[in-house]
A and B are shown apart, each in its own frame.
Chain A
Amino acid sequence: MSEPLLTLEGVHTHIGRYHILQGVDFAVPRGSFTVLLGRNGAGKTTTLRTIMGLWKASRGSIRFAGQDLAARPTPEIAASGIAYVPENMSVFSGLTVRENLILAARSGKIDDTRLEWIFSLFPAMQRFFGLAAGTLSGGQKQMLAISRALIEPRDLILIDEPTKGLAPAIVANMIKAFREVKNAGTTVLLVEQNFMAAKMLGDSVAVMDDGRVVHRGAMAELAADHALQHRLLGLHMEVHQ
């Protein structure tokens, strides 16, 4: 296993009076595709938001490429090389596809080669390049949100439930695109409820429950152990058929 790019140790997060993350520990190896699984309300989204500094960790350490992220403001964390794709098709609907992509490019310019690559992953982005993002379909918005994270090479991409609410055909297309991202050597931390998608993409996995990581290991091991899946995620055999 390569050296971790991101390490969370004993991370606690409070939102108001609620103690959401209660000591999260896991690592994301450099160049790997790590999947964060867990039931609804387990703390997966809060974990991503805490890494990005959108919720402040009340305790614990978050280390990214040797730097401590816990006390840093969100824009600095983003500038350090982490891209974040929030859940729910998070695009800026009043801006065009092009403007959405330019916003995500820290230099303010889009690299043509990179753009061609994105168009090859998501051809809809090329067709609707000058169109307001608000007029895109749900699947296209999700593609745009992911394209924004890919518009520049990043050290780490955090993606929150990209397949949520999408039709199976689009999910298949997205998995194909993620495979290419993975093959390009990008480190990804993916929160996913769709176990089939997670199984196809993940190298390593962390399973959360009640604000803690209750299982860490290789995705292949979890994928092969149905009893463990049932215990950790409440999955039944039909998922694998």
Chain B
Amino acid sequence: MLSRVISGDGPRSPVLTAALLLILVVLAFAPFLFSGAQPLNVAAKICVFILLVASYDLLLGYTGIVSFAHTMFFGIGGYGAAIALSRLGPSWSALALGIVVAIVVAGLLALVIGLFSLRVRAIFFAMITLAVATAFLVLASQLSGFTGGEDGLNYSVPESLRPSFRLLEQPVFGTVVNGRIVTYYILFFVVLAGFLLLLRIVNSPFGSVLQAIRENEFRAEALGYPVVIYRSIASVVSAVIAAVAGVLLALWLRYTGPDTTLSFAIMIDVLLMVVIGGMGTLYGAVIGSVLMIIAENYLPAVFGKLGAAAAGIPFAPLILSADRWLLWLGILFVLSVYFFPTGIVGKLRALWQNRKGGAPQTRSARAEHEKE
């Protein structure tokens, strides 16, 4: 049953399984496990980024497409919800309209970019997506009457998603189940469903074709698969899921601006999360998002305390102060790419495989190598 839910694509490492289960449980019960706004904000951001990064992994890890326009689709989702809610009022129908328009716009834009640009070599496609994303960012900043410009848009969400709303009269485990918690669980379940859908896609025959294209597009064409069409479909699916992630972030923040959805800093973060977690695994999106977002939110405080503790040691405050956390994150990234080129998930799977001494088939295949 569980195997069917995850499309037969398990973590294939006990350590990874344990880590993923822990993440699932913590995210599922986050509103009841932690007090205060920050932990719930971090948990919600992790949920949104798991979906965003997993959708990017479909492009980069499974299809071999390097795109810098992924945050553009994320932004389309965010602005779709934001513009609809701010213009039409905080109703479910306005939100639904915003979601539909965002999904259609993101899908069509991805299709147009794909059909026109996916014929060219990977580096040129990456440059085209960079140009389109830059143009979109400028457009969002300039059309202030529509998008709120650099300031972005603040808006109200439907009543049952507001902090003042009470779903249950009595607190549960000491926590009042208000509209924020309802919003969090909407995020959580949409992300869970989206992630399982992506698992289903990459383990379907369509997913096999994408992986074949990633490995060798000429061979895939020679088998009868039109590469541009398949890449474009992958692009559209990825863009639509990124737009859904954008809608979720817009609902959580009740604010959408260029810095929260469209900035290149987010694009770089998404890339780092995929690479650190492990490309072409989907589970890497979970690990990468959790590590990066926790680091971004808690490392400055940790380094602040370390810096204060090491105040008497020469040069220590220079390298351990609160604003040096990014330097250490950078060093960690370089080391992780150097030592774990297949990402954390790839490394954990390889370690488990080696510990088992290779799969039984691998052992017999190796033995037959002598003969064949």
Contacts from A to B (Cβ < 8 Å): 52, 54, 73-75, 78-79, 84, 86, 90, 92-95, 99, 102-104, 106, 108, 124, 127-128, 130-131, 135-140, 148, 167, 169-170
Contact = CB atoms under 8 A, between A and B. Distances in A.
Interface stretch (B49-57, B213-221, B321-329): B213-221
Given A95-B212, A108-B205, A140 B368 contact: yes
21 contacts: A54-B222, A73-B221, A74-B222, A78-B221, A78-B223, A79-B224, A84-B222, A86-B218, A86-B222, A90-B219, A94-B214, A94-B280, A106-B224, A127-B365, A128-B364, A128-B365, A135-B362, A135-B365, A137-B365, A137-B372, A140-B368
A92 B207 CA distance: 13
B163 interface: no
A139 B368 CA distance: 10
Given A103-B212, A108-B205, A131 B222 contact: no
A137 B368 contact: yes
Contacts of B211: 92, 94-95
A78 B365 CA distance: 31
B361 A128 contact: yes
Q: How large, as a class, is the contact surface on chain B?
A: 20 to 34
B225 interface: yes
Residue of A52, A75, A137 with highest tally of chain B CB at under 10 A: A75
Nearest to A84: B222
Contacts of A74: 218, 221-222
B121 interface: no
Given A75-B221, A79-B224, A92-B212, A140 B205 contact: no
A127 B215 contact: no
Interface string B349-372: 000000000010110110011011
Given A124-B372, A139-B372, A169-B371, A75 B215 contact: no
A126 to B, nearest CB: 11
B222 A103 contact: no
A221 to B, nearest CB: 32
Contacts of A102: 205, 208
Q: Is the interface of B mostly helix, strand, loop or mixed?
A: helix
B209 interface: yes
A213 B214 CA distance: 36
A127 B364 contact: yes
Nearest to B226: A75
Given A78-B222, A103-B212, A127-B365, 19 more contacts: A78-B223, A86-B222, A93-B215, A95-B212, A102-B208, A103-B220, A103-B223, A106-B224, A124-B368, A127-B364, A128-B364, A128-B365, A131-B365, A135-B361, A137-B365, A137-B368, A137-B369, A140-B365, A169-B372
Contacts of B215: 92-95
Given A86-B219, A140-B368, A130 B205 contact: no
Contacts of B212: 92, 95, 103
A170 B222 contact: no
Contacts of A135: 361-362, 365
A90 B216 CA distance: 9
Contact of A127 (B220, B223, B361): B361
A86 B361 CA distance: 26
A130 B224 CA distance: 23
Interface in B222-237: 222-227
B57 to A, nearest CB: 14
Contacts of B371: 169
Contact of A131 (B208, B223, B362, B372): B362
Contacts of A167: 372
B219 A92 contact: yes
A169 B280 CA distance: 37
Contacts of A169: 371-372
A147 B48 CA distance: 43
Shortest 6 CB-CB contacts between residues of A and residues of B: A78-B224, A139-B372, A137-B369, A74-B221, A131-B361, A75-B226
B50 to A, nearest CB: 23
A137 B370 CA distance: 9
Given A90-B216, A102-B208, A167-B372, A136 B223 contact: no
Contacts of B226: 73, 75
A140 B362 CA distance: 13
A131 B368 contact: no
Contacts of B220: 103
A54 B362 contact: no
B265 to A, nearest CB: 32
B223 A148 contact: yes
A78 B226 CA distance: 10
Contacts of A131: 359, 361-362, 365
